[in-house]
Amino acid sequence: MSDDFPGWHGTTIIGVRKGGKVVVAGDGQVSLGQTVIKGAARKVRRLSPGGYDVVCGFAGSTADAFTLLERLEAKLEATPGQLQRASVELAKDWRTDKYLQKLEAMLIVTDGRELYVITGAGDVLEPEHDVAAIGSGGNFALAAARAMMDSDKDAETVARDAMAIAADICVYTNGKLTVETIEG
């Protein structure tokens, strides 16, 4: 990832698994350098290859993320119901393919049972404490969500409250959320 890429710092995505549900929430802000270009983008999507639902959130370049989502969908079609295998296959391709290596994005993916962060470094990470977060405000959202996991709040409330905290701290994150819930 190059340091002069102005669009890299532009979002926060969180995934929270609690009470038999996984919620993925993402803010809507798209920034180019110090300018907000759009305030209500959808960075959380539901894929349904072959009737198998997967929720994905992305941070980074939108075009790069869509390329990765298309590749993930193809991997899921080739390995129905096997999110881990599809994620590992995507990460391997991303790491070794010369074209894909240039993509600047990260993904959070879940089928309601499994929850992963997929990176261009070839990582498929299963988060500890049932919370994953990526993007410029990811560390703020992660810390806030982890602090709420032992509370009576459900997964969606934890995700929304953590995103609100991140939006208050990170200038590249806003409070206009897209939220998708999937049951395990």
Residue numbers belonging to the annotated binding site for Na(+): 167, 170, 173
Give the DSSP per-residue string, 24-93: EEE---EEETTEEEES----EEEE-GGG--EEEEEEE-HHHHHHHHHHHHHHHHHSTT-HHHHHHHHHHH
The catalytic residue among 11, 67, 110, 157 is 11
What token pair was written down for 91?
């990460």
Do the bridges between strand 12-18 and strand 131-135 make them parallel or antiparallel, or are there none, so unpaired? Answer: antiparallel
With CA atoms as reference, report the closest residue to 24 among 37, 15, 36: 15
DSSP state of 171: T
DSSP 126: P
**Is 79 among the residues known to form the active site?**
no
d(CA 44, CA 64): 14
Residues belonging to the binding site are 167, 170, 173
Pair of tokens at residue 81? 């119901």
Tokens 């193809």, located at residue: 74
Give catalytic residue positions: 11
